[in-house]
């Protein structure tokens, strides 16, 4: 499949697949005739039949009842715009949703689209990534069919020094979704990991294009291990890693999760534009459960140990070191001791 070939094209609010699925949903499992579908959708019966055939190839179980019509029996957990936008209630996020069966990196693609002028709220999702990116040139393991890999374009009217606030905002959104979609208790590990029972279940990679005074755009890259199995993790991970399935014992519906995540991000972003960073910082601190813990921060070859006392207005971790002196860590990896 071509690098940029969408799984199903970008959703327009009126795409045929989405409208057919909506009709099936409203009818709640009833048979709908081809003629009625063609009337409601204002397309030919052949166009209806072709779209039904495409949906079946994607894994929708649609039965054709002779001389009566079609009935939707079950839907696959497919990351496609038609499913994600159903009952998606957002102000900015999801204005465009583009889904790929596979791509190199959703962040790389979203960055390119943003440079070409993609609107704020554009979401790029892939079922699998060949070169999923972590921070500092690291790799993000991205097998197909089990997880969420998405990148969201934002254009906040903020200076580049404030961009870290958006990273904190996205960590809070992911943690909220984990809480809502499971019975698990996530915690945020500075600066960008989401942990459950000490295992990393999600990572964030936010990339920015900026001028001296202003951000042009930020790409929020979010990878969440939803249904990844133990054998799908590589051996040599830096920190313990896990998935929501492994921790909670229950498979997570990917479409439901991304929908919830987009709604959380949207609400938090709207609040951020209105009320600023303080509420985000407070929620981040509450969810980080790091205050008062002893940690070691490693940045290149430098390592600092101390007790976490909070985060400052630049997103730096404030550490109280042996002897009582305070140190700030703005970048690096943190290990809880």
**80 versus 202: smaller Cβ distance to ligand BT5:** 202
Peptide bond preceding 191 in cis form (omega within 30 of 0): yes
**21 versus 196: smaller Cβ distance to ligand BT5:** 196
Give phi and psi for 326, each to the nearest 5.
-100, 140
CB 107 within 8 A of CB 219: yes
CA 15 to chain CA mean position, Å: 23
Which of these ranges, 89-97, 105-113, 247-255, 277-285, lies near ligand BT5 under the rule CB under 6 A? 105-113
CB 171 within 8 A of CB 192: yes
Residue number, nearest CB to ligand BT5: 203
Please state the closest distance from residue 78 (CB atom) to ligand BT5, in A: 18
Q: How far apart are the first and last CA of the chain?
A: 45
Cα 148 from Cα 123, distance rounded (Å):
12
Angle (CA) 141-143-148 rounded to 5° is: 85
Q: Of residues 6, 94, 121, 132, which one binds ligand BT5 by CB under 6 A?
A: 132
Please state the closest distance from residue 251 (CB atom) to ligand BT5, in A: 17
Q: In the chain, which ranges are continuous DSSP H helix?
A: 16-27, 34-41, 45-57, 81-84, 106-115, 164-181, 244-248, 254-275, 278-288
Residues 186 to 245 in contact with ligand BT5, rule: CB under 6 A? 192-193, 200, 203-205, 221-223, 225, 237-238, 241
- Residue 248 interacts with ligand BT5 (CB under 6 A)? no
Cα 83 from Cα 96, distance rounded (Å):
13
CB 240 within 8 A of CB 264: no
**228 versus 319: smaller Cβ distance to ligand BT5:** 228
- Residue 254 interacts with ligand BT5 (CB under 6 A)? no
- Residue 262 interacts with ligand BT5 (CB under 6 A)? no
3-state secondary structure of 218: strand
Cα 106 from Cα 149, distance rounded (Å):
7
Please state the closest distance from residue 184 (CB atom) to ligand BT5, in A: 15
**21 versus 202: smaller Cβ distance to ligand BT5:** 202
Q: Of residues 56, 71, 101, 135, which one binds ligand BT5 by CB under 6 A?
A: 135
CB 155 within 8 A of CB 120: yes
DSSP string, 81-144: HHHHTTT---SSTTSSEEEEEEES-HHHHHHHHHHTTPPTT-EEEEEEESS-B-GGG-B----T
**16 versus 148: smaller Cβ distance to ligand BT5:** 148
**69 versus 104: smaller Cβ distance to ligand BT5:** 104
Q: Of residues 18, 92, 133, 176, which one binds ligand BT5 by CB under 6 A?
A: 133
Please state the closest distance from residue 298 (CB atom) to ligand BT5, in A: 12
**Edge-to-edge strands of the sheet including 97-103?**
6-8, 97-103, 123-129, 148-154, 215-224, 199-210, 193-196, 186-189
- Residue 149 interacts with ligand BT5 (CB under 6 A)? yes
Please state the closest distance from residue 201 (CB atom) to ligand BT5, in A: 7
CB 310 within 8 A of CB 291: yes
Please state the closest distance from residue 126 (CB atom) to ligand BT5, in A: 8
**82 versus 220: smaller Cβ distance to ligand BT5:** 220
- Residue 329 interacts with ligand BT5 (CB under 6 A)? no
**51 versus 106: smaller Cβ distance to ligand BT5:** 106
Please state the closest distance from residue 322 (CB atom) to ligand BT5, in A: 27
- Residue 107 interacts with ligand BT5 (CB under 6 A)? yes
Interface residues toward ligand BT5, by CB under 6 A:
105-107, 129, 132-136, 138-141, 149-151, 192-193, 200, 203-205, 221-223, 225, 237-238, 241
């Amino acid at each position: 499949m071509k690098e940029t070939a969408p799984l199903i094209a970008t959703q327009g609010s009126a795409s045929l697949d989405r409208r057919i699925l909506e009709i099936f949903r409203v009818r709640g499992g009833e048979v709908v005739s081809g003629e009625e579908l063609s009337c409601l959708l204002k397309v030919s019966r052949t166009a209806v039949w072709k779209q039904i055939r495409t949906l079946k190839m994607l894994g929708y179980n649609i039965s054709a009842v002779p001389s009566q019509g079609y009935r939707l029996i079950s839907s696959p957990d497919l990351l496609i715009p038609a499913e994600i936008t159903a009952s998606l209630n957002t102000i900015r996020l999801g204005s465009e949703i583009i889904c790929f069966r596979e791509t190199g990196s959703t962040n790389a693609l979203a960055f390119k689209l943003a440079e070409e002028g993609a609107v704020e709220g554009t979401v790029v999702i892939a079922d699998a990534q060949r070169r999923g990116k972590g921070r500092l040139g690291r790799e993000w393991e991205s097998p197909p069919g089990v997880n969420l890999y998405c990148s969201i374009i934002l254009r906040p009217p903020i200076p580049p020094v404030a961009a870290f606030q958006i990273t904190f905002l996205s960590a809070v959104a992911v943690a909220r979704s984990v809480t809502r979609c499971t019975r698990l208790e996530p915690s945020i590990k500075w600066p960008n990991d989401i942990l459950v029972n000490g295992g990393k279940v999600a990572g964030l990679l936010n990339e920015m294009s900026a001028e001296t005074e202003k951000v042009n755009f930020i790409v929020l890259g979010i990878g969440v291990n939803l249904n990844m199995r133990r054998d799908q993790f590589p051996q040599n991970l830096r920190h313990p890693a896990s998935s929501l399935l492994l921790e909670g014992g229950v498979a997570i519906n990917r479409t439901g999760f991304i929908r919830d995540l987009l709604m959380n991000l949207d609400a938090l972003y709207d609040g951020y534009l209105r009320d600023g960073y303080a509420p985000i910082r407070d929620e981040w601190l509450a969810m980080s459960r790091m205050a008062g813990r002893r940690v070691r921060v490693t940045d290149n070859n430098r390592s600092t140990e101390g007790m976490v006392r909070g985060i400052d207005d630049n997103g730096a971790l404030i550490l109280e070191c042996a002897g009582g002196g305070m140190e700030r860590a703005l970048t690096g990896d943190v290990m809880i001791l």
